[in-house]
Homo-oligomer: A and B are copies of this chain.
């Protein structure tokens, strides 16, 4: 559980000021641990959420499925993220929360969180801010979905994940774990799997980045970021910007 809280603290202090007092209050929050297998749904569209979920290990994503069966993945969440914090004030889930890879999560009851926030307007502001950054990432991604072609979108996605993963200290050298299938990748990019595969090969061929056996290796950060038109400011990180 210390690991869980460690990631959370790291993320929260990356996006705002976190006092020692705040840390202490957060540590008093009771939670339940839960282990998820790949593809397992944490919350489903239409559910009434009563707890929110902190990712401890693994990956979790949010998605929605169209009547045609087509699925869009909105966001991918890594340790330290609370992907469904919005459930606090939007208890009826309008999308699914799914374990993309085997994952471990901590569940905090809304009641307990709300009690904590009621006592600290600082923490309220910080948590609110977290949900706002979430929305900012959506905007950045909408821009990509609407206006950029597949290779640009893929480059942008890898850049974002690289930066966020580095933020919580999960990068190794110039690579990070991304234990997802190309099918998942395609559903993030909004392309068919075939096209995602070809786009990936294209990026490989250009020597910008590779993605194999659940690991992304960034070979040329600068060019990748340029191709992906990546500007990390939408992540609203307060710390020094990560570089390579």
Minimum C-beta distance from A75 to chain B (A): 9
User: A173 to B56, alpha carbons, bound, how many Å?
Assistant: 52
Q: Mark A141-163, 1 if CB is under 8 A from B, else 0.
A: 11101111000000000000000
Which B residues touch A131, using CB under 8 A?
128, 131-132, 135
Q: Is the CB of A95 within 8 A of B145?
A: no
Number of identical protomers: 2
Contacts of A118 in B (CB 8 A): 121
Known: A124-B124, A131-B135, A135-B138. A147 touches B229 (CB 8 A): no
Q: Let me know if A210 is at the binding interface, CB within 8 A.
A: no
A64 contact from B67, B89, B143, B189, Cβ within 8 A = B143
Q: Does A133 contact B (CB under 8 A)?
A: yes
> Cβ of A125 < 8 Å from any Cβ of B?
yes
Q: Which of B74, B133, B189, B229 contacts A139 (CB 8 A)?
A: B74
Contacts A94-B139, A94-B234, A141-B142 known; 8 new A-B pairs at CB < 8 A: A72-B147, A89-B125, A90-B133, A94-B136, A131-B132, A138-B138, A145-B145, A147-B190
23 pairs of residues in contact across A and B, judged by CB atoms under 8 Å:
A62-B139, A66-B148, A66-B229, A70-B148, A72-B147, A74-B142, A86-B135, A86-B136, A90-B132, A90-B136, A94-B140, A95-B139, A124-B124, A131-B131, A135-B135, A135-B138, A138-B139, A141-B142, A142-B142, A142-B145, A145-B190, A146-B189, A146-B190
